[in-house]
Amino acid sequence: MPYIATSDGAQIFYKDWGSGRPVVFSHGWPLNADAWDSQMMLLASQGFRAVAHDRRGHGRSTQTWSGNDMDTYADDLAELVDQLGLTDAILVGHSTGGGEVTRYLGRHGTSRVAKAVLAGAVPPLMLKTDANPEGTPRGMFDKIRSGLLADRSQYYRELSRPFYGANRPGSNVSDGLREQFWRLSMQAGLKAAYDCVREFSETDFTEDLKRIDIPVFVAHGDADQIVPIQAAALKSVLLLKNASLKVYPGAPHGISGTYEAAFNADLLAFVQD
């Protein structure tokens, strides 16, 4: 299987499909690169090179005890881009992956990147503070950590419901999709998953967003129960220099069903433009 070795010795697994202009995908918590299979197949079939990696501690990458922080995630992404020799790339991040992409661009610049996509992404800041009253109270993230430590297997099963909006009237989310969410989540190491809760909830990406000077497509469902749009996309577009916003009515956090079909069409149009 393909891996790169990072400067601190971690092995980062990646998938590399197709050929052409590179589109690099960063996944959400606590999933891995397989969450992007639909989008990777679509773009690789349309003449793009689709690359996706498992964040350290997740999937097939090394389960490091330390280094489970947003700066290191961004550095790992930079090492992947550098070692694969990618240029004129398009970065796509969902949820925590959107934070990873944002921190990469703020920390490493845009010399190798032409565009970016932030889908259901956590920036600018998820945590509720005096300066961010639209955010989520800390107690909600404490419940996530408690759930992981008590019984992460059951916690992930329950999380799949709001993740895909399966707890909403009229939902037709399949059991298979929820089982796939559970399967991918269970591949993440407990320490990495636990540490990542702090990173996606407490990291402030405001200054990173302000530094980004490339076109950014911001996509978000207005029924997202995991990363509410009011503290995320609606604020990010005001901080980015060159952003376009697409709000998907009734769409949940997880990219599936009719939301996925619409997002895939918009993603393809954005990368082809």
- The verdict on whether 95 is a catalytic residue reads yes
Pick the catalytic residue from 95, 185, 201, 256.
Answer: 95
- The verdict on whether 220 is a catalytic residue reads no
Task: Give the integer Cα–Cα distance in Å for 19 and 43.
Answer: 10
- The verdict on whether 19 is a catalytic residue reads no
Angle at 83 between CA 78 and CA 85, to 5 degrees: 95
Strands 89-94 and 216-221: unpaired
CB burial of 74-99 (b: ≥16 within 10 Å; e: otherwise) equals bbbbbbbbeebebeebbbbbbbbbbb
Task: Give the integer Cα–Cα distance in Å for 256 and 29.
Answer: 16
DSSP-assigned letter for residue 187: T
Q: Which residue has the tokens 């400067």?
A: 7
Pick the catalytic residue from 27, 58, 220, 253.
Answer: 253
Task: Give the integer Cα–Cα distance in Å for 39 and 252.
Answer: 17
**Residues written for the chain:** 273
Rg (CA), the chain: 17
Please confirm whether the linkage preceding 22 is cis (ω < 30° from 0).
no
Task: Give the integer Cα–Cα distance in Å for 246 and 16.
Answer: 28
Pick the catalytic residue from 54, 76, 208, 224.
Answer: 224
Catalytic residues: 95, 224, 253
